[in-house]
Amino acid sequence: MPDTLYLSLWYPNLRLAALPGKLAAVLSAFAAHGGEARVYAATVWPVSWSEAPVFQRVYGHGARAAEPKQAVDEALELLHEDYAYDFQIGWSLWELERGGRPAEAATADLSPRPSARADSPARDDREDASLNPRWVRSPRLVRVTGFGPLFDEGAYEQEGHIRVEFGSDAPFLEEEADLEAVGAGHVEENVRQLVELAGAVEKESGATARVLWSELGESLAQRLAGRLGMRN
């Protein structure tokens, strides 16, 4: 069963004024590890997730997207202890494409598409894609959130000063697929990309603690070991 995967980062004695620099460092690390160099969107939430955003801007994809520092500076101009600062940035992984679309579709496309009619494959092509799934590099939007110390009653203590939400963990496991040599290689590449990104954001932002976790509380490492038949 797919689960949502998160990375939480903590910083010692973090002052609110230092949060913009930490967020920019985390966002800037994506480009070297399978991600985009620019930010797709930014949202600022006051007090708790149940409140309406006080700032929201969708920059777009490609050349329209914002440099990390620009997006952070604009969003954190409203710097308050009880605000959360949410950014979306593109990241690509190997995924199985079934029926002409990856099994775990991204929450938003990272490039413009033609109309559905123009983009729709012929009947035989759709059937072939369904019967013969193939591996493709598929884009998804990752959420990077910085928490003020008073947001949602001190959520940072459990969530991290900065939390990265990767979305579904399916590309790291593909539990419903038969992993032949090629598939196992793609899954391992996804995991390696995740591990390298986690290490990079920790180092470049100066975090002193990091935790990779899921909503269901299951260990990705243990599930992956069982999936690939690894032994400790």
Provide the residue ranges of all domains of the chain, joining segments of one domain with +. 4-228
CA neighbor of 42 nearest in space, from 83, 18, 69, 74: 74
- Predicted local confidence at residue 128, as pLDDT: 46
- Predicted local confidence at residue 15, as pLDDT: 96
pLDDT digit string, tens, across residues 29-77: 999 999 999 999 999 999 999 999 999 999 999 999 999 999 999 999 9
Q: How far apart are CA 182 and CA 14, in angstroms?
A: 44
Q: How far apart are CA 180 and CA 135, in angstroms?
A: 12
- Predicted local confidence at residue 96, as pLDDT: 84
Q: How far apart are CA 133 and CA 135, in angstroms?
A: 7
Amino acid (1-letter code) at residue 29: A
Q: How many CA atoms lie within 13 A of 4 on its CB side?
A: 10
- Does 122 or 72 have the greater pLDDT score? 72
Query: Which two three-digit tokens encode residue 123?
Result: 């009947």
Query: Which two three-digit tokens encode residue 126?
Result: 């759709």
Question: Is pLDDT above 50 for 208?
Answer: yes
pLDDT digit string, tens, across residues 146-178: 999 999 999 999 999 999 999 999 898 876 666
Angle at 214 between CA 75 and CA 225, to 5 degrees: 135
